[in-house]
Amino acid sequence: MNREKHVMAVASAGGHWVQLMRLRPAWKGLRVTYVTTDPDFCQTVYQYAEDDGEPLPGFHTVVEANRWQKWRLIKQLLGIVFIMVRKRPDVVLSTGASPGYFALRVGRLFGAKTVWIDSMANAEELSMSGQRIGKHADLWLTQWEHLAKPEGPKYLGSVL
């Protein structure tokens, strides 16, 4: 057990969140703080913690925003900054989308290592966030083998 190691796992509600939940054995035994856009998911992660015999994780939300909602995106970014200042994780990991992009960029400024796992929903090109995050991610992954390149993203597997 290595509860000193603190992972922040970030995903917006919907498919990104479902994929993040499938990766939870990766941070079993570590300290984890979840960040998402739907407060209802708190009960989901508390239930998983109980099922998996893990302590209750941290849980925070930021506002939902799509790429055309500039003001909401700013609010979302501010939310991420606020959480990051208080939590100071060792690693920030995300399956997408914009909250994850912001969390990796901000987390890196605070010295955290960063992991981007591009959504399986992008089978022929990386997501917009996924393309832009490449040079800011210490581990930059696609879930489709045919999208992997020598210069990144890498392929280590998929959630399916």
Partner 1 sequence: MIFLTIGTHEPFDRLVRAVDVWADQTALKHEIFAQIVSPASGAYRPKNFETVTHLPPAEYEARISQADLIVSHAGMGSILTAFTHGKPIVIMPRRGHLRETRNDHQYTTVKNLTKRPMLFVAEDETRFSTVMDQAIENIASGTPQLLSPVADKDFTDALHHFLISSTKR
Cβ 15 to partner 1, closest distance in Å?
3
- Tell me: does residue 157 bind partner 1 (CB under 8 A): yes
Residues 133-152 that bind partner 1 (CB under 8 A): 138-139, 144
With b meaning 16 or more CB within 10 Å and e meaning fewer, what string describes 60-89? bbbbbbeeeeeeebeebbebbbebbeebeb
Q: Which of 40, 71, 135, 150 binds partner 1 (CB under 8 A)?
A: 40
In 3-state terms, what secondary structure has residue 70? helix
Taking the complex as a whole, the smallest distance from the CB of residue 55 to partner 1 amounts, in Å, to 17
Q: In what order do the strands lie in the sheet with 30-36?
A: 58-61, 30-36, 2-11, 91-96, 113-117, 139-142, 154-155
**CB 80 to partner 1: min, Å:** 18
Give min distance, CB of 151 to partner 1, in A: 19
- Under DSSP, is residue 21 helix (H, G, I), strand (E, B) or coil? helix
Q: Give the angle 107-43-41 at the CA atoms, nearest 5°.
A: 50
Q: Which of 63, 73, 121, 148 binds partner 1 (CB under 8 A)?
A: 121
- Residues interacting with partner 1, by CB under 8 A? 2, 5, 7, 13-19, 22-28, 30, 38, 40-41, 43-44, 66-67, 90-91, 93, 111-113, 115, 117, 119-124, 127, 138-139, 144, 156-160
